[in-house]
Every structure is written in C-alpha cells, then in structure tokens.
C-alpha cells in the first residue's frame, strides 16, 4: 500500500465548478487503485499511522492528464516552419510518417514518445499512429510494458497521399481487424478505428471502416473534422456526392456515440446539431489551431449546442506535449471568442472531463475509491517565477490559473501509473 499526504485536488462529479480539495489530505493506494481519500484529520482520528505517509505539504496531487487527440509519429515534426494544414501535411507530416514502416525505428520512437508523455504528466492518450501496422504494434508494446491506459489506432488512408504511406481499403480493414483482435481490451489498452480524414480515404475504405465499427462496437473511432477552410473545400472536391464534411462520415456509419472528431472549428449549424444528436465529441486542439492558423474553435457555442467536448495537444501541429501549455492556449482562444475558461473547468477538462468524453471515466480521471491510481504531482518551487506568483495567489482558483498560464512540464515532479512512480524529476 502507498500512502501520500499532500494537497489533493480532483473532480468526483461532472460539475466542474465543484472540485474536491484537501489542503492536508491523504491518498491511499492499494493494488494500483484508490483505496481511500480524505482529510488527514479524519485518518488521524481513526488511528491511522501518518508516519507511514510520504509527506509533500507544498505539492499538489492531481489525477493524471488525459490527451484526447495526438499523433504519435508527429513528435518528429513539431515546430516545423511554415504553411497551413494541407501544405504542412505534405511538406512535413507525410515524409515523417513514412519512416514508421521500419519496426526498429518505430519501436525506438515509441519508447521515447511515452517517456516524454510521462515527463509532461500525461498518463493516458488517444493516439493516431502512422498507416503502418508496425507503428501501432510498437506503441502498444511500449504502453503495455508501462501499464498505461492508452488508446491508439492505425491511420487509414488509401488515396491522396504519397505511396509510401498509403494502404488499400482491403489491407487497411484487414490490419485494423487484426490489431483489434490482438490489442483491444488487453490490459489497459484500447483500439480506435482511425481514418485520418475523409479526404484521404476512398468511399470503399470509409464503407469498410463503418462495417468494422458496427462489428466491433466497443472500439473507439477517431478522426478529423472541419479543421481548416481550405481542407473543407478540398473534401468537397474529393467527395462531391456528400452534403457536407460530416456527411462523409455519417453516410458510412462513422459517427457512433462517443466518436472523437479533432478540431470542429468551422461546422455549419446543421453539422453542429447532427453531431450533438449523434453524441459525437468535438476535440478542442487550441495549440495546433493557432500554430497552423486554422481558426478559433467555438468552444462555448458547441457546448451550448449540446456537443460533448474534450481538449487535446494535437502534437505535432500542437507545439507542446504539456497539457498545461495546451490549457494556456485554450484560455486565449476562448478569450478571443468572449468566453472565459475558468481554471476549475480547465483542469476538470484534462482530467475527469476528458475521461468522461472518451468513455474512460469508470477507470481514470478522478480519485473516487476503486479508480485506477494514475496521478501527477505539481511542485511550484521548481519554477522560480511560478513559485513567486503562487505565494500571492488568493485562492485555489488563482493558483491553478498560474499553473495553466505560466506552467509547463518543469512543474511535474512525479507522474505515477497505478500508484507507482513512472517518472520522477531528478531535482525536485
């Protein structure tokens, strides 16, 4: 059993404005799961030996961060200069992803990628791999060794890209089904059917993917939707028979409840209503949207329309693996749209909120008894400016706002998986 005495914060319900916070709390973990959480005074009154606790009075313990949309092979193209989405894919992304056909390369990249995720406090993610089966196998093998709760999928794309990264409708479906049978539900791993976006998939591929979604209803579906105005026009030229971008997926059964659509910046009123009615999830990727000049997601309007929302780094269009820096950009985008992203809502979104949006809230995202004990520790003393600012914070809300606007991975002193440290800073 592991006992941690510290400042502890989480959201035990879906009311973001009602966090549960213990200024002096004890978190008990047994066999990788939360055994108990409460004020230290309660444990002391019950006769608990607090001398057995690891005591971190100035740190803040939070559930591990969940990244709802990221590209595993695109770490290699982060911070690549120039252009907007379609040119950026051609110039940087597609050549980088071609290298993942090599299993040895993919295995080394997967190890580095997951080490980086843990260093940044991200304990779970929804990853697009490359179009090569090797990339998925490598990522799942590395995640399994670390006992991570990770969802990933082979990118499906059989047209409009270089030959080195194309599959076919038949091979893509075959590889996806084999990967589902091998990895989905194995330990803490899950599979996501992953058409890159409808412009790089033929009608035949979209149809076969929809058949797999129906055949394997417990797998996730992740793709892109309405990221860039030029992209939307291009999709229309590639698939002129559909009424709009969302319809390219709807027509093939690719908008099941809980399906994850990255971006959703330029949805029409009709698309917004249909997405909400279907129970699809719009994944807010503020850093990449700013970097690629794609636009400002109408976070507040989608929320008001009843669309489920998640937040993600979208590396490598996103420029940081840090969900704290992602929140900083989310705040700025929301400000420009006259919506104030409250710090409580922001941290709820990257913990329990993302768990709920991705149907993982029965396992992760908070510290309810029985939940899997993935968590991070933040220590403001690690960053002098943050430490100075936190001293003047009037309340928890103010402290969290400092972390999400001035913070990054330097604040993460420990990331634990199933209660055991998977990353510790060398000089906390």
Cis peptide before 367 (omega within 30 of 0): no
Strand partners, 424: 414
For 55-89, give one letter per residue: b (16+ CB within 10 A) or e. Answer: ebeebbbbbbbbbbbbbbbbbbbbebeeebbbebb
Q: Is the pLDDT of residue 82 over 80?
A: no
Instruction: Please report which confidence band the pLDDT of residue 68 belongs to, taking 50, 70 and 90 as the band edges.
Output: very high
> Torsion over CA of 82, 87, 93 and 99, rounded to 10 degrees?
-110
Q: Which pair of structure tokens corresponds to residue 383? A: 């960053």
Give the whole-number percent of the chain exceeding pLDDT 90. 93
Mean pLDDT, to the nearest integer, of 304-312? 98
Residue 78 pLDDT grade (very low, low, confident, very high; cuts 50, 70, 90): confident
DSSP summary character for residue 131: S
Predicted confidence at residue 219, as pLDDT, reads 98
The pLDDT of residue 77 is 87
Say if CB 84 and CB 34 are below 8 A apart: no
Rounded average pLDDT over 28-54:
97
Q: Examine the pLDDT at 204 and tell me if it is beyond 70.
A: yes
Among 74-78, 128-132, 269-273, 317-321, the minimum mean pLDDT is found in: 74-78
pLDDT band at 345 (very low <50, low <70, confident <90, very high): very high
* Arithmetic mean of pLDDT over the chain: 96
State mean pLDDT over 257-271: 98
Residue 247, token pair as written in the block: 């319809």
Of 132, 69, 139, 142, give the one whose Cα is nearest residue 97.
132
How large is the average pLDDT for residues 76-80? Answer: 86
In this structure, how many other beta carbons lie within 10 angstroms of the beta carbon of residue 305? 16
Whether 192 shows a pLDDT value over 70: the answer reads yes
Sign of the four-CA dihedral 8, 13, 14, 16: negative
Q: Is 70 helix (H, G, I), strand (E, B) or coil?
A: strand
pLDDT in tens, 101-151: 999 999 999 999 999 999 999 999 999 999 999 999 999 999 999 999 999
Give the Å distances, CA to CA, from 250 to 197, 214, 225: 13, 13, 12
At 328-343, the pLDDT tens digits run: 999 999 999 999 999 9
Cα 412 versus chain centre, distance: 17
**Average pLDDT estimate for 221-226:** 98
375-402 residue pLDDT tens: 999 999 999 999 999 999 999 999 999 9
pLDDT category of residue 428 using cuts at 50, 70 and 90: low
Residue 110 to residue 130: CA distance in whole angstroms: 12
Structure tokens that stand for 170 in this block: 């038949």
Q: Where do the domains of the chain lie, and which CATH numbers do they carry?
A: 2-64+366-424 (2.30.40.10), 65-357 (3.20.20.140)
């Amino acid at each position: 059993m592991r006992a941690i005495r510290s400042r502890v914060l989480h959201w035990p319900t879906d009311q973001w404005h009602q966090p549960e916070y213990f200024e002096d709390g004890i978190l008990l973990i047994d066999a990788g799961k939360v055994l108990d959480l409460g004020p230290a005074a309660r444990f002391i009154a019950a006769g608990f030996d607090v001398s057995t606790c690891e005591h971190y009075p100035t740190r803040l313990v939070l559930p591990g961060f969940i990244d709802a949309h990221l590209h595993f092979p695109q770490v290699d193209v982060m911070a690549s200069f120039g252009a907007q989405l379609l040119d950026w894919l051609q110039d940087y992304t597609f050549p980088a992803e071609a290298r993942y056909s090599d299993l040895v390369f993919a295995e080394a990249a997967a190890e580095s990628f997951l080490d980086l995720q843990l260093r940044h406090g991200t304990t779970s993610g929804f990853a697009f791999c490359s179009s090569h089966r090797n990339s998925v196998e490598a990522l799942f093998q590395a995640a399994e060794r670390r006992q991570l709760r990770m969802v990933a999928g082979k990118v499906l794309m059989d047209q409009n890209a270089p030959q080195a990264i194309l599959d076919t409708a038949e091979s893509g479906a075959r590889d996806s089904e084999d990967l589902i049978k091998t990895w989905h539900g194995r330990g803490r791993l899950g599979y996501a059917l992953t058409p890159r976006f409808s412009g790089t998939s033929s009608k035949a591929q979209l149809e076969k993917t929809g058949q797999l979604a129906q055949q394997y209803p417990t797998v996730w579906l992740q793709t892109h939707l309405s990221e860039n105005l030029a992209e939307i026009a291009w999709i229309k030229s590639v698939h002129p028979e559909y009424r709009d971008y969302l319809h390219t997926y709807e027509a093939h059964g690719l908008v099941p409840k809980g399906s994850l659509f990255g971006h959703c910046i330029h949805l029409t009123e009709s698309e917004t209503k249909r997405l909400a009615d279907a129970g699809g999830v719009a994944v807010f990727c503020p850093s990449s949207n700013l970097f690629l000049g794609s636009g400002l997601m109408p976070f507040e309007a989608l929320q008001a329309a009843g669309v489920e929302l998640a937040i993600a780094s979208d590396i490598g269009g996103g420029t940081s693996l840090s969900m704290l820096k992602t929140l900083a950009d989310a705040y700025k985008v929301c400000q420009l749209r006259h919506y104030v992203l409250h710090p409580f809502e922001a941290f709820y979104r990257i913990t329990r909120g993302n768990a709920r949006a991705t149907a993982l809230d029965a396992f992760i995202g908070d510290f309810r008894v029985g939940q899997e004990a993935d968590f991070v520790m933040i220590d403001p003393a690690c960053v002098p400016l943050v430490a100075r600012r936190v001293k003047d914070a009037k309340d928890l809300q103010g402290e969290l706002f400092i972390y999400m606007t001035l913070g990054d991975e330097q604040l993460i002193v420990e990331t634990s998986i199933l209660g055991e440290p998977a990353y510790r800073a060398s000089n906390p």
